[in-house]
Copies of this chain bind each other. A is one copy, B any other.
Amino acid sequence: MPGLDTIIRNANVVTATDKYKADIGIRDGVIQMIGTISESAESEIDAAGRMVTPGGVDGHCHLDQPMDDGSIIADDFTSGTISAACGGTTTVIPFACQVKGEGLRAAVENYHTCADGKAVIDYAFHLIVTDPTPNVLGQELPALIKDGYSHFKIYMTYDALKLRDREILDVLHLAKREGAMTMIHAENDDCIAWLTETLENAGKTAPIYHSHSRPPVVEREATHRAISLAELMDVPVLIVHVSGNEAMTQIQNAQARGIRIYGETCPQYLFLTADDLDQPGFEGAKCVCSPPPRTADDQEHIWRGIKTGVFQVFSSDHAPFRFDDDKGKKNAGTDAKFSQIPNGVPGIETRLSLLMSEGVMKGRIDVHTFVSVTSTGPAQMYGLFPRKGTIAPGSDADLVIWDTETEFTLTNERLHHNVDYTPYEGMELQAWPATVLSRGRVVAENGECMAQPGDGEFLPSDPPNPLRPQQP
């Protein structure tokens, strides 16, 4: 039997369940053995005293995705995955988005072109289904699911993306038959349109009114509707980027009944509030995303949701737009109405560190929950487990060795995304990935990327397999 390529020594290994001290032996990018390893390897890394967790899986991020308003997603597969890797994420799942009137297969092929040779870490694709024609439902999507694209997102809002309930039912019916996972952006589009028109007619166009145009009841309504449609079809769905207590309660109640409804939340709902949109001038545009950040009280509820298992997935929803850029947040100028501001905040690099610092190290959640929502959960949800999402024999050696002893102030300078701000500027953090391995290779060290574009591979997805079919 050939020898090991790399050994991580004396790791304090942490998985979604376990915590133990061991050496990790790696060969050909895969974990070969875990325990007390007597042999040696050419590359040995001493992790003594350091926590080692599975590399992060970012189940929701936007890279090199075409926008229909002329704005530009600031990160492509190179800058986006470098940023991810430096933040401890070793798998990203961005979106291959169908253009209405065109096919899904074409979207996938185009998106591979965007990704090929550019990523420094591994990636899978979510699909976005915007036009569920008979051909899409009958031919393309079933074939794509078999080909490794077993999860897709649908929208209940945005003119260019949204599906009607009838279309959602068609899609869910297919998801059930083919064993796919459906992610749903749940906001009531008609409400948003009505409120937006009403606000703008009243001259209320500043960024803060973005949050007025999408109040919690709008998200709650669509969340309950999505749950109801899924319940009618008896199919699991994941509600993405849940922002506050009202929508969360709908999910929690459905889970308590034993329905297979899953939930995702994001850093912006733990660390931002609507007040962050209410800044002088156009500054608030930096934090315009949908659903909008809510209140301090909602933040506490979202923490509770992570702690109590409502959320299986903690993603970045990295949707990077440069602030001081006429293809970014200022796409429609600095006098833009809130409805013209590109939606999204950057966060692919800060996701893990924020949750480790503010969640684990401040005692709000335990470290196993951290691993579960940042890595194991999304890997299971999107058919990448156990290749990704855990530390176990046979799994890819995607690992984060943590430095939890060095406090620092988060600044955008530290980050590697192609965005000129971070919404979390100035936060004091206590944890950062010291060394990040992807398939046994060191891809980031001390906050600098060690990998090359093209090192990352495409990951075909198996059928989804969430840890517990139903969460409480």
**Which A positions have Cβ atoms within 8 angstroms of B?**
1, 15-22, 25, 31-38, 164-166, 168-170, 188, 190-191, 193-195, 215, 217-218, 220-221, 224-225, 228-229, 231-232, 252, 255-258, 304, 307-310, 365-366, 368-369, 372, 376, 386, 390, 392-395, 467-472
Contacts and interface: CB of A to CB of B under 8 A. Distances in A.
Nearest to A21: B394
Contacts of A232: 191, 195, 215, 217-218
A472 B390 CA distance: 23
Nearest to A309: B472
29 contacts: A15-B18, A17-B467, A20-B386, A21-B394, A22-B393, A25-B35, A33-B36, A33-B37, A34-B392, A165-B191, A166-B193, A169-B190, A169-B194, A218-B232, A221-B225, A221-B228, A221-B229, A224-B228, A225-B225, A255-B308, A255-B472, A258-B307, A258-B308, A308-B471, A309-B471, A310-B472, A365-B469, A368-B467, A369-B468
A390 B1 CA distance: 28
Nearest to A246: B228
Nearest to A307: B470
Given A366-B468, A467-B368, A256 B35 contact: no
Contact of A35 (B16, B17, B33, B168): B33
A35 B36 contact: no
Given A20-B393, A217-B232, A309 B366 contact: no
A261 to B, nearest CB: 11
B309 A309 contact: yes
Nearest to A369: B468
The 8 tightest CB contacts between A and B, nearest first, are A33-B35, A165-B190, A308-B472, A221-B228, A472-B472, A35-B393, A166-B190, A309-B472
B228 A468 contact: no
Contacts of A231: 217
A394 B22 contact: yes
Contact of A17 (B17, B32, B304, B310): B17
Identical subunits present: 4
Pick from A31, A215, A376 the residue with the most CB of B within 10 Å.
Answer: A31
A17 B33 CA distance: 18
Contacts of A34: 33-35, 392-393
A394 B252 CA distance: 37
Among A17, A365, A366, residue most surrounded by chain B Cβ atoms (within 10 Å): A17
Given A15-B18, A221-B229, A309-B471, 5 more contacts: A164-B190, A220-B228, A366-B467, A366-B468, A369-B468
A452 B406 CA distance: 53
Contacts of A469: 307, 365-366
Contacts of A304: 257-258, 470
A469 to B, nearest CB: 6
Contacts of A22: 392-394
A312 B35 CA distance: 28
Contacts of A309: 309, 468, 471-472
A221 B304 CA distance: 23
A73 to B, nearest CB: 29
Contacts of A224: 221, 224-225, 228
A217 B369 CA distance: 29
Nearest to A250: B224
B468 A368 contact: yes
A373 to B, nearest CB: 11
A310 B191 CA distance: 27
Contacts of A471: 308-309, 472
Contacts of A221: 224-225, 228-229
